[in-house]
Amino acid sequence: MKIFELDKKYSVVCDTKENKTGFKHMADLCRFGQSIGNISKQYYNRTWESFTYETILLLIIDCYFDNETEKQKYKNIIKKMRRI
């Protein structure tokens, strides 16, 4: 399990679960520590992300934020994580 702090308000808790057809990444979006939504993505073979959980982080932002300015703000934070 890994926690990604997006800012003081939002964080994303990510985890991986193995299954018989591959594995899946799961993400839980939290506002002030309380879960407000979750998402998962099944993978059938190795992923080629810049860092582990990159794809699921971007997906959860797309699913739970309606405001385009907010979406872009959080996506930019995730993109900066590539360099860390």
How far apart, in whole angstroms, are the C-alpha atoms of residue 53 and residue 46? 12
Number of domains in the chain: 1
pLDDT for residue 50? 85
pLDDT tens digits, one per residue of 66-77: 999 999 999 999
- Per the document, the length of the chain is 84
Could you list the residue range(s) of the whole structural domain that residue 60 is in? 2-81
Is the pLDDT at 5 greater than 80, yes or no? yes
Is the pLDDT at 84 greater than 70, yes or no? no
Q: What is the mean pLDDT of the chain?
A: 93
Confidence tier at 46 by pLDDT (50, 70, 90) = confident
Of residues 4, 57, 11, the one with CA closest to residue 30:
11
Confidence tier at 45 by pLDDT (50, 70, 90) = confident
